[in-house]
Amino acid sequence: MKHGSNLSDNFPQSRVSSQCKTTAATIFAPGEVGHLDNNGAGQDDGWKAHHFDVARLGIDQSSARPVVLLFSAATLWLLIGSSFGLIASLKLHWPDWLDHAAALTFGRVRTVHLNLVIYGWLSQAGIACVLWIIPRIFRTKLRYSSLALYGGILWNIAIVLGATALAYGQTDGEEWLEIPWQIDMVLAVAGALFIVPVIATARARQVHHIYVSGWYFLAAVLWFPVLFVIANIPGLHSGAEEATVNWWFAHNVLGLWLTPLGVGSAYYFIPKIIGKPIYSYAVSLLGFWGLALFYSQVGIHHLIGGPVPTWVVTLSVVHSVMMFIPVIAVAINQHVTVAQNLWALKASLPLRFISFGALMYTFASFQGSIEALRSVNTVTHFTQYTVGHAHLGAYAFVSLIFFGAAYHLLPRATGRGFGSPVMISLHFWLVVVGFAIYFFALSIGGVLQGLAMLDATRPFADSVTVVLPYLQARSIGGALMTLGHFVFAYNLLRMFTSESLAPSRVPAE
Ligand code: HEM
């Protein structure tokens, strides 16, 4: 590998300047700093390529097909998955609704919801971001892109099989690991087909430095397969040990898979759209290594009070609290970069989604660290509060970043713009307002539920009735979120069918 020796493959050699020698600026082409990168998402005047995108055209074209496939399929699963979430939510206050078929009972609908949004929507959208950003930061074409395409096809076959199996009651019986292990093997093979192109592209990179998004992505594609395979091996663990491995895996899906995908994407898109390097590149190191060091042990805080050794739980609580360090590091970097350029939020709709998502990462992590304290957990455990927290992380943080990423990168991958900004704004406000209702309803309802359960003078039924209005409010919030997802899918459809095809790959300037 000759670092930086030949960019002509995809990126004109003549454009390398001293500006790109600073590590934080490796995401920019020479001369690009200072240029807002906002074309394509919600432009009234049609789609025009960012001047510098023309120079990256070879790189972008190499990843465009798998990226478009993955985002399209992810959006489909988002629609189906959130509809299942809404059905599950409604059933909690209309228990007799849809009770005639086993496949539509709460236990199955909830499980289908969870698996579709995690593996169908979030994982695919995240992999699409990796496949888009990795070649850009390494300034070379995506290697073996057809493997990634086959990986996408196989992954979706496995999702169809997995969701069908769950609806028919075939499950491995552990939360987040419900998909039968035979189908998990198909997912693992599909995953390997994504990893090979990412590693091969990293090895062929044309820059010496690995930009911070690259650390997060490369770590995620190595961590997750290990977690997934170990946790899915049938018969390896049993009893309390099985529960420990279950929660080690389940929390690490968030921490070592979805979090690096979301944080890595935000680290690329925020400065890229604003046109300025992130606030402090040195601090980003702290954020990455802090996550690597502390996150892997936090999952056992789900078993506080459970039949596992106290020291294992204590270790996990300590690690959960230590997570403040990397989270504050990421917060300083991402929020200060946005705060110093607030004008860009007005100019760029994708940035609005991504910055909101990044802010929610900070909130979700702070909340999680506090929720792991035994004193707090005594109240919140086994309540709807936890579900609110799960959606703060998996939805408000990761999903919002991926919505913004889709609006930003799909016009570049397809050569078509999204058109009307009104529909993108509508999507934004539906999901933000819907989520706010969802989150506050479950947080308040969850605490009341927990306090009722702890009060020995009150009958258990009180803890059920007290939360009822909050569950109804959650359904209203969830319905707005789901509606927002249909608006998102409509925007995507309009983009795919729009007339304004690639002529505008000619630069706007
Ligand atoms: C991309 C969108 C979404 C993601 C990533 C997501 C993620 C999750 C996660 C991680 C859980 C497990 C929570 C836990 O066990 O603590 C869950 C459960 C659930 N979600 Fe979602 N969700 C999404 C959208 C929705 C929507 C739109 C609704 C509509 C109301 C919804 C309703 C539910 C319900 C009812 C549960 C089961 C809660 C329980 O067991 O009491 N979700 N979701």
Each residue of 395-444: pLDDT tens digit? 999 999 999 999 999 999 998 888 789 999 999 999 999 999 999 999 99
Q: How far is the CA of 152 from the centre of ligand 1 (A)?
A: 24
Closest CA to 144 of 134, 158, 159: 134
Q: How far is the CA of 396 from the centre of ligand 1 (A)?
A: 12
Looking at residue 269, its amino acid is F
State mean pLDDT over 256-280.
Answer: 96
Is the Cβ atom of 179 under 6 angstroms away from ligand 1?
no
Does the pLDDT value for residue 15 go beyond 90? no
Cα–Cα distance for residue pair 131/172, rounded to 1 Å: 31
**Is the full-model pTM beyond 0.85?**
yes
Architecture of the domain made up of 16-505: Up-down Bundle (1.20)
Q: How far is the CA of 450 from the centre of ligand 1 (A)?
A: 19
Does the pLDDT value for residue 17 go beyond 80? no
Please give the number of the atom of ligand 1 that sits closest to the Cα of 92.
Answer: 35
Write down the mean pLDDT value for the chain.
91
Residue 30, pLDDT score: 83
State mean pLDDT over 243-266.
Answer: 96
Is the Cβ atom of 344 under 6 angstroms away from ligand 1?
no
Q: How far is the CA of 472 from the centre of ligand 1 (A)?
A: 14
Continuous segment of H or E residues that includes residue 366: helix 349-371
Is the Cβ atom of 251 under 6 angstroms away from ligand 1?
no
**What Rg, from alpha-carbon coordinates, does the chain have?**
22
Pocket test for ligand 1, best of 395, 440, 485 (most atoms within 8 A of CB): 395
Is the Cβ atom of 395 under 6 angstroms away from ligand 1?
yes
Cα–Cα distance for residue pair 122/74, rounded to 1 Å: 7
Residue 83: CB partners within 8 Å, gap ≥ 6? 482
Please give the number of the atom of ligand 1 that sits closest to the Cα of 475.
Answer: 30
Pocket test for ligand 1, best of 247, 387, 432 (most atoms within 8 A of CB): 387
Residue 371, pLDDT score: 97
Does the pLDDT value for residue 91 go beyond 70? yes
What are the structure tokens assigned to 44, written together?
Answer: 């009234």
Q: Give ∠ CA 389-274-439 in degrees, rounded to 5.
A: 15
State mean pLDDT over 41-62.
Answer: 72
Looking at residue 399, its amino acid is S
* Nearest Cα residue to atom 42 of ligand 1: 85
CA distances from 400 to 14, 213, 288, 353, 403 (A): 37, 17, 21, 5, 5
* Nearest Cα residue to atom 10 of ligand 1: 390
Q: What is the DSSP letter of 54?
A: T
Q: How far is the CA of 175 from the centre of ligand 1 (A)?
A: 13
Is the Cβ atom of 388 under 6 angstroms away from ligand 1?
no
* Nearest Cα residue to atom 11 of ligand 1: 114
pLDDT digits (tens, 9 = 90+) for 31-51: 889 888 886 665 555 556 677
What are the structure tokens assigned to 257, written together?
Answer: 């898979």
pLDDT digits (tens, 9 = 90+) for 114-156: 999 999 999 999 999 999 999 999 999 999 999 999 999 999 9
Q: Which of helix, strand or coil describes residue 49?
A: strand
Q: Which of helix, strand or coil describes residue 200?
A: helix
Compare 477 and 34 and report the one with higher pLDDT.
477
Residue 12, pLDDT score: 44
Please give the number of the atom of ligand 1 that sits closest to the Cα of 121.
Answer: 1
Q: How far is the CA of 390 from the centre of ligand 1 (A)?
A: 7
Q: Which of helix, strand or coil describes residue 382?
A: coil
